[in-house]
Amino acid sequence: MFKRGVRRLTAAVLALALLLTGCTPAVEVDAAVELPEGQKLIALTFDDGPRRSTTTRLLDGLAERGVQATFFLIGAQVEHNEDVVRRMDEEGHQIGIHTFDHVTLTGLNQADFGAQVGKSREALKAVLGHNDFLLRPPYGILDESVKRWAGCPIILWSIDPEDWRDQNTRRVAAEVVAEARDGGIILMHDIFPESVDAALEIVDALHAQGYLFCTVDQLFAARGIPLEAGESYWNAYP
C-alpha cells in the first residue's frame, strides 16, 4: 500500500540530480531511479494545509526547483481546496493525514479517532482515488492507541525550526540549514507566507550543499527501511 512514493522516485528527482550537474533531462523518466551511492537525501514536510494562497505559491516554487515534498493535510481544509490537493498529487508530492480538526489524538476513543483520521482518509480518497496516506499526529503526540488504530506509518521529524513561533523567514531558514543532515525530515507549515519564503531559501541553500529533496516514502525506500503501519519514524539517518 505504501510503495506509491517509491515508484515516484522518478522525473523530479532525476531532473534535480541533473540540474546539480548543469544538465537538463531530455525526456521524463517513468521507471524508478536508483540514486547515486552516498547521495545526501532530505525530506521536506509541511503540516496544517492546504491554504490556497500560501500552498499554491509554495507548489509553484517547488515546481520551479524540481522538488517533491510531503504534505500532512487537515481534513476539514480539503473541501474547497480539492484542486490544490490534486495538484500536489499530480506533481509527485506525497500526501498524509494531520487529522480532520488538528486535535491531539491521545485520549480519544476509537470512534473519535476514526472521526479525525478515518474521516480525513475518506476525504482524501474521494479527491485522489487512492488510499496510501501517512499519518502525522498533531504536536507529534502519540500513544499505543494511536499506533494501534493508525492503519498506516506514523511520520514525525528530526528538524523543527518552530516556524510558527515568530514567522521569521531568516531565522527559520538559517536554523534548518544549520541542522540539515542526510536522512533528516524537516517539519514546516505551509500556512504562513514567511514559511513559504523560508522553505524555498532552504531548498536553494541545501541544493548548493549537494542535497536531493525527496518524499518521505522515497527517503525510506532509498535507505532500505520499510515503513510499517502503526510504527513511528523520526528520520532515516544512514
**Could you tell me the end-to-end alpha-carbon distance of the chain, in angstroms, rounded to an integer?**
24
DSSP-derived 3-state class of residue 79: coil
Residue 70 backbone phi and psi in degrees, to 5:
-120, 130
DSSP-derived 3-state class of residue 154: strand
- Measured CA to CA, the distance from residue 46 to residue 178 in angstroms comes to 19
Active-site hit among 47, 48, 163, 182: 47
DSSP 198-230: HHHHHHHHHHHTTEEEE-HHHHHHHTT----TT
Number of residues that this document lists for the chain: 238
- Measured CA to CA, the distance from residue 95 to residue 129 in angstroms comes to 12
Catalytic: 189? yes
**Nearest alpha carbon to residue 74 among 95, 43, 60:** 95
Residue 89 backbone phi and psi in degrees, to 5:
-65, -45
Active-site hit among 48, 93, 98, 189: 189
Which uninterrupted H or E stretch holds 85?
helix 82-90
Contact residues for 8 (Cβ-Cβ < 8 A; gap 6+)? 68, 92, 94, 215, 217, 218
Catalytic residues, by residue number, are 47, 189
